[in-house]
Amino acid sequence: MEKQESELIMHTPCTKCGSSDANSLYSDGHTYCFNCNTYGQSQEEVRMPENKKEQGLLSGTHEVLVKRCLTEKTVKFWDYQVGDYKGGKAHIANHKTPDGVTVAQKIRTPGKDFCVLGDIKKAGLYGQWLWRDGGNNVTVVEGELDALSMSQAFEHKWPVVSVNTGAAGAKREVAKAIEWLEKFKTVVFMFDNDEPGQKAAKECAALLSPRKAKIAKLPLKDANEMIVARRHAELIDAFWDAKEFAPDGIVNGEDLWEEVSTEKDVHSVPYPYADLNTKIGGCRLGEIVTVTAGSGLGKSQLTREFAYHLLNEGATIGYVALEESSKRTAQGLMSLHLNKPVHLETIPTEELREAFDATMGTGRVFMYDHWGSTESDNLLAKIRYLARGCGCQYIILDHISIVVSGIEGGDERRIIDNMMTNLRSLTEELNIGMIVVSHLRRPAGDKGHEEGQVTSLSQLRGSAAIAQLSDIVIGLERNQQDTENSNITTVRVLKNRWSGDTGVAGQLSYSQTTGRMVPAEQAVDDIPF
């Protein structure tokens, strides 16, 4: 049996079970392996570590920390003291070199003020002096009391250390101790469950060899809160459940079961045109839909029809029309509601008010009041605000090419590349639907898109990134020279990441009377909305 007066000196390898660090050497010479429960007698010379201390540091006593639920055994093991400081009692966390010389002290007063005595830069990780080099695992926490708490939960059997200056200095301190940490098979970072702590944990984990680091996440803020809440078992579980660190973007397929087995509730609004809806299955959050056509073939009108339909379906929309004022955009949506062009006719005030209340007055339409080109970074910031600040689920950008029109000497391809890449990231990050208008290049030969030329992805103007990063691409085709069918627009799906089904998705007819685009097979004045 363990003698009462004996003290733990160090963890050593066990010759019986082969554990690299579960065997414990005590001051009276006996050993005990916590892995195979074997008692023995050390053949090594037993030497208590000298508690050397640099001049100018405080002395204190080992006292039970009742409020922190930390035992006398724990504070003695860690040499965590309570002493006099400036006329009052204060906690003293002794920071030592790896060979056990106290070189600094972190002082914590009852008022939660902190100060450091000595030179903490000379110290290793807090607690590093307690453990021999290497072993199966070591847990790294964010603060001294967390180190004591985790060690107590482990019954002081497994290595625990802390960074010295919290999350802010964690990366630097781990880098300094990297050689020692690399001697362990696994390093578990159990930092505070807040944004700075989790960010620091990832930064520290990235310093270690691949597959060595794990990151644990606690249900409460830190290890001491878990101890105070009497949730010791959950604290241990968090250690065992720690996830192997991988750089951002690297996903282990083993972790995807819940993702692939659970039906996700994807927000989707059907398109107002049956043929188009059948082909591409609705307008969904997290997707970019690009509408393209030649000049004057109805790109803006179609996207306005989409916006009006989304609004009627209860969605909140953001409208970024860079070729028209916010007033003209508002009039366009009101015109669709009234089935007559507001800007061309004199509309009675009551009728106009009813159209306003049904569209702009819903409080679910937000616009960027800017005409003409704008810097891409500024535009992206506005889109982010529309999504985050205004709650817009769908955002219309009409059109992407004008972003570069005012930049002298700008590389259109490069700028649009960057713009589309950022739009892609924003769409996924914010879980919004983007409807983007893009121009086409004039095709080779005598026949242009205004003369019925079939659209293709290769004709998108400015950058191949538009086609690559869009989920859906819709092209419009119309022969303005055809006297009989000059008003008929063919809708062609050029890309369909949702189902892969591409090709013609119906025909639309524009009514000069109503200002609406309706399925060509319907009478001009029959509005299906």
pLDDT(486) > 50: yes
Q: What is the 3-class SS of 197-239, one letter each residue?
A: HHHHHHHHHCCCCCCCEEECCCCCCCHHHHHHCCCHHHHHHHH
For the cut 50, the answer to whether the pLDDT of residue 45 exceeds it is no
Which value, in Å, is the radius of gyration of the alpha carbons in the chain?
34
Contact 320, 379 (CB under 8 A): yes
| Per-residue confidence (pLDDT) for residue 466, from 0 to 100 | 85
Residues 6+ apart with CB under 8 A from 33: 14, 16, 17, 19, 22, 23, 24, 40
Cα–Cα distances (Å) from 16 to 33, 37, 38, 355, 478, in that order, read 9, 10, 8, 85, 85
Angle made by CA atoms 370, 374, 376, in degrees to the nearest 5: 130
Residue whose C-alpha is closest to residue 489's, from 273, 341, 281, 330 = 273
Distance CA 429, CA 422 (A): 10
* 469 close to 424: Cβ distance less than 8 angstroms: yes
- The token pair at 140 is 């790294």
The secondary structure of 12-36 as a DSSP string is E--TTT--SS-EEEETTSEEEETTT
At residue 41, the pLDDT reads 62
pLDDT of 418 reads 82
For CA atoms 58, 64, 67, 68, the dihedral sign is: positive
Reduced to 3 states (helix: H, G, I; strand: E, B; else coil), residue 478 is: coil
- Counting Cβ atoms within 10 Å, is residue 63 exposed (0-12), middle (13-18) or buried (19+)? middle
The pLDDT value given to residue 429: 87
Strand partners, 490: 477, 507
- Pseudo-torsion of CA 362, 363, 365, 370, nearest 10°? 130
Judge contact between 56 and 19, C-beta under 8 A. Answer: no
pLDDT at 29: 63
Structure-block tokens of residue 416: 């649009």
Q: What is the pLDDT of residue 287?
A: 92
Which band of pLDDT confidence, cut at 50, 70 and 90, is reported for residue 52? low
pLDDT, one tens digit per residue, over 334-392 is 888 888 887 777 778 888 899 889 988 888 989 887 654 456 667 888 888 999 888 99
Average pLDDT, the chain: 83
pLDDT higher than 70, residue 332: yes
CA quadruple 252, 253, 254, 257: dihedral positive or negative? positive
Q: To which residue do tokens 């001051």 refer?
A: 27
What is the DSSP code string of 360-418? Answer: GGGS-EEE----S---HHHHHHHHHHHHHTT--SEEEEE-SGGGGTTSTT--HHHHHHH
| Distance separating alpha carbons of residues 312 and 270, to the nearest angstrom | 11
Q: How far apart are CA 244 and CA 208, in angstroms?
A: 12
Q: What is the separation, in whole angstroms, between the first and last Cα of the chain?
A: 86
State yes or no: pLDDT of 47 exceeds 50: no
- Taking a C-beta distance cutoff of 8 angstroms, is the pair 309, 315 a contact? no
- Is the model's pLDDT at 292 over the cut of 80? yes
Q: Which pLDDT value is given to residue 150?
A: 96
Domains annotated for the chain, with CATH where assigned, are 8-41 (2.20.25.10), 72-248 (3.40.1360.10), 268-519 (3.40.50.300)
User: Among 1-15, 87-101, 459-473, which is the least confidently predicted range?
Assistant: 1-15
Q: 477 in helix, strand or coil?
A: strand
pTM as predicted: 0.55
Q: Is 439 exposed, middle or buried (0-12, 13-18, 19+ CB in 10 A)?
A: buried
Alpha-carbon gap, residue 95 to 143, rounded angstroms: 12
- Rounded CA separation 438/94 (Å): 65
Least confident among 199-203, 254-258, 274-278, 313-317: 254-258
pLDDT of residue 413: 76
283: pLDDT strictly greater than 50? yes
Report the percentage of the chain scoring pLDDT > 70: 82
State the SS3 of 257-311.
HHHHHCCCCCCEECCCCHHHHHHHCCEECCCEEEEEECCCCCHHHHHHHHHHHHH
- CA 441 → CA 421, 456, 460, 465, 495, distances in Å? 21, 10, 6, 15, 17
What is the reported pLDDT for 444?
Answer: 66
Tokens (6 digits) for 244: 């192997």
- What tens digit of pLDDT does each residue of 81-137 get? 999 998 889 999 999 999 899 999 999 988 778 889 999 999 999 999 998 788 899
pLDDT at 523 over 50: no
Reading the block at residue 442, the tokens are 């004039």
pLDDT tens digits for range 137-165: 999 999 999 999 999 999 999 999 999 98
Spatial separation of the C-alpha atoms in residues 65 and 480, rounded to whole Å = 86
In this predicted structure, the answer to whether residue 511 has a pLDDT above a threshold of 90 is no
151 close to 162: Cβ distance less than 8 angstroms? no
C-alpha distance from residue 31 to each of 10, 22, 25, 40, 518 (Å): 10, 10, 5, 5, 87
CB 282 within 8 A of CB 271: yes
317-321/394-398 β-pairing: parallel
- Which residue would you say has higher pLDDT here, 395 or 342? 395
Could you tell me if 392 and 318 are in contact, meaning their C-beta atoms sit under 8 angstroms apart? Answer: yes
Question: If you average pLDDT over residues 388-401, what whole number do you get?
Answer: 87
pLDDT attached to residue 2: 38
- Residue 521's Cβ-count burial label (10 Å; 0-12, 13-18, 19+) is exposed
> Please, which pLDDT band fits residue 205 given cuts at 50, 70 and 90?
very high
Determine the pLDDT at residue 298. Answer: 82
